[in-house]
Amino acid sequence: MEFSINALSPEKAKTGCVVLGVFKGAASGAQGFELTAPAKRVDQAAKGALRKALQDLSGKTGSALLLRNLPGVAADRVLLVGLGERGEFAESGFRDAVRAAAQALKELGAKDAAFFLADVKVGSRTLSWNVRQAVLGLRDAFYRFDEMKSQKKPPAPALAHVTLPLGPTGELEQALAESVATAEGAELARTLGNLPPNICTPAYLADEAKKLARQYKLGVEVLERADMEKLGMGALLAVARASHQPPKFIVLRYNGGAKGRKPVVLVGKGITFDTGGISIKPAADMDEMKFDMSGAGSVLGAVRALAGMKAPVNVVGIVPTCENMPGGAATRPGDIVTSMSGQTVEILNTDAEGRLILCDALTYAARFDPAAVVDIATLTGACVVALGHVASGLFANDEKLADELRAAADDAWDRVWQLPLWEDYQEGLRTNFADMANVGGRAGGAITAACFLARFTRKLRWAHLDVAGTAWKSGREKGSTARPVPLLVRFALRHAGRK
Ligand code: BES
Ligand code: MN
Ligand code: ZN
């Protein structure tokens, strides 16, 4: 799906479908609607035929109505999309409208479209924001994952070209280029998440990183088990022990920023399957633990996006990746291991494995003298209980970094909510037998997990994103969401001084 920015008049555009927004007014009937400017123009050209048709549109956010062969209108079809009431219209409404429009465009199989929703004012948001949301929303809706089906569905209902009918400016063109690259990074993350755990293994992720390195001329290094042993990554190796899949430690570097400028380091949890190990998980829905490498996927996706758009930033992507399996060689509850930092950990629950692979990766991250380190992990079920599927959990040992991430998250509408990282919570990790235990009690589980990581990042400007509730969906819509790729890309760009 390609995009261009081009001022068009809605009644004269020769395109498969003109997409127009319509607000719902307080009154009922056709009078109860408020047409956006381009909808008004189409209505005038069609001598009121658009307004007449409005009786069949509820006007609720995300409602849609398709009109064909409007007189005086060049396009074959006009798609009206309800925006709800103007007074209540905000970011979510815009996103819902984009999604509804995408759904309708998919069903009618249009080859191209002029997307006039791009011009609808959303609070104090800029048009660049609209461009980003439109591109990511449309690409997201048309994403398909049928790699693993023997019978490919009939060719995708290709919406080959979308025109965003705005007056082209340098700023909008840049927003567009950034958005397309972000969509591509998000699609990579999503596909990696969706691939089954017998295919998306640690070795697969390493190959994927090498592929990115070739494609975008990135630096790449893949450490093997022996390298990790030499580095003393005892915590990571304790998780990998029972798996027949060898662990990998991936380091991917993109240097688009000024030479010598400190990099942003992104660290992604890459558990390609989490059985829980000896502290084995219940059978129900265990398949969903293939998504436990979503943090890793988001790091590879974000690096791909930033490299693809040639962002002026230095980034290092670190992906510790392995499987968490039970078996004769598995780590036992009660085992004590020495992490790369030298700190010892009593592993009381082998299902708290994410923090074990991350702590060694965070220790390793220090060698890049980073401006900031952000780890991304499907770390705790407790975070899902706390924040549901809307916000990712944010933790940071530096308030300014937390503010920067929150601002990027709001900007990308890939939102986060901060939870405390107070020393008071460290008490939960106390044990008689080692420097710390790898679990606290049930209470505040997302926080004690973050507190564990905090013990390995004291010398860093560090933040942790718990994406257990946001990186994937279960139920009918089961699949990876690619979150938080949009947030990470926005964060890196803002860090580089981009608006
Ligand atoms: N990968 C899971 C966390 C998770 C749970 C992600 C549900 C997505 C949905 C993680 O490794 C885990 O098992 N965490 C345990 C920690 C506990 C043993 C302290 C959990 O959340 O139950
Ligand atoms: Mn686990
Ligand atoms: Zn896990």
> Could you give the percent of the chain with pLDDT greater than 70?
98
Helix residue ranges, H only, 164-277: 170-194, 202-216, 225-231, 234-240
SS3 content of the chain, % helix, strand, coil (to 5): 40, 20, 40
CB of 412 within 6 A of ligand 1: the answer is no
> Could you give the percent of the chain with pLDDT greater than 90?
96
Q: What is the widest separation between alpha-carbon atoms in the chain?
A: 82
The pLDDT of residue 486: 99
> Is the pLDDT score of 483 beyond 80?
yes
Mean pLDDT calculated for residue range 317-322: 99
Which atom of ligand 1 lies at the shortest distance from residue 442's CA? 19
Mean pLDDT calculated for residue range 433-449: 97
- Render pLDDT for 394-420 as a digit per residue (tens, 0 to 9): 999 999 999 999 999 999 999 999 999
Amino acid at 384: V
- Tell me which residue has its CA closest to atom 22 in ligand 1: 381
Please give the torsion angle defined by the CA atoms of residues 92, 98, 101 and 106, in that order, rounded to the nearest 10 degrees. -120
Q: How far apart are CA 467 and CA 482, in angstroms?
A: 10
> Is the pLDDT score of 26 beyond 80?
no
Burial status of residue 494 (CB atoms within 10 A of its CB: 0-12, 13-18, 19 or more): middle
Which atom of ligand 1 lies at the shortest distance from residue 383's CA? 21
Reading the block at residue 105, the tokens are 């465009």
Whole-number Å distance, alpha carbon 363 to ligand 2 midpoint, is: 21
pLDDT band at 151 (very low <50, low <70, confident <90, very high): confident
Which atom of ligand 1 lies at the shortest distance from residue 349's CA? 18
Helix residue ranges, H only, 261-395: 294-308, 354-365, 381-387
- List CB-based neighbours of ion ligand 3 within 5 Å: 271, 274, 292, 354
- List CB-based neighbours of ion ligand 2 within 5 Å: 274, 351, 353
Three-class SS state of 431: coil
Cα four-point dihedral sign 484, 487, 490, 494: negative
CB of 351 within 6 A of ligand 1: the answer is yes
The pLDDT of residue 157: 66
Nearest-CA neighbor of 82 among 26, 35, 127, 137? 35
Q: How far apart are CA 18 and CA 5, in angstroms?
A: 14
- Render pLDDT for 228-248 as a digit per residue (tens, 0 to 9): 999 999 999 999 999 999 999
pTM exceeds 0.95 for this model: yes
- Render pLDDT for 361-382 as a digit per residue (tens, 0 to 9): 999 999 999 999 999 999 999 9
pLDDT band at 322 (very low <50, low <70, confident <90, very high): very high
Q: How far apart are CA 439 and CA 452, in angstroms?
A: 8
pLDDT band at 32 (very low <50, low <70, confident <90, very high): confident
- Do residues 386 and 420 lie in contact, with contact meaning Cβ atoms separated by under 8 Å? no
Q: How far apart are CA 90 and CA 88, in angstroms?
A: 6
User: Residue 450: nearest ligand to its CA?
Assistant: 1
Nearest-CA neighbor of 117 among 20, 214, 237? 20
- Do residues 289 and 468 lie in contact, with contact meaning Cβ atoms separated by under 8 Å? no
CB of 382 within 6 A of ligand 1: the answer is yes
Whole-number Å distance, alpha carbon 334 to ligand 2 midpoint, is: 16
Mean pLDDT calculated for residue range 89-117: 96
Nearest-CA neighbor of 247 among 269, 217, 263, 219? 269
Q: How far apart are CA 183 and CA 158, in angstroms?
A: 16
Cα four-point dihedral sign 306, 310, 311, 315: positive
Reading the block at residue 285, the tokens are 């829905």
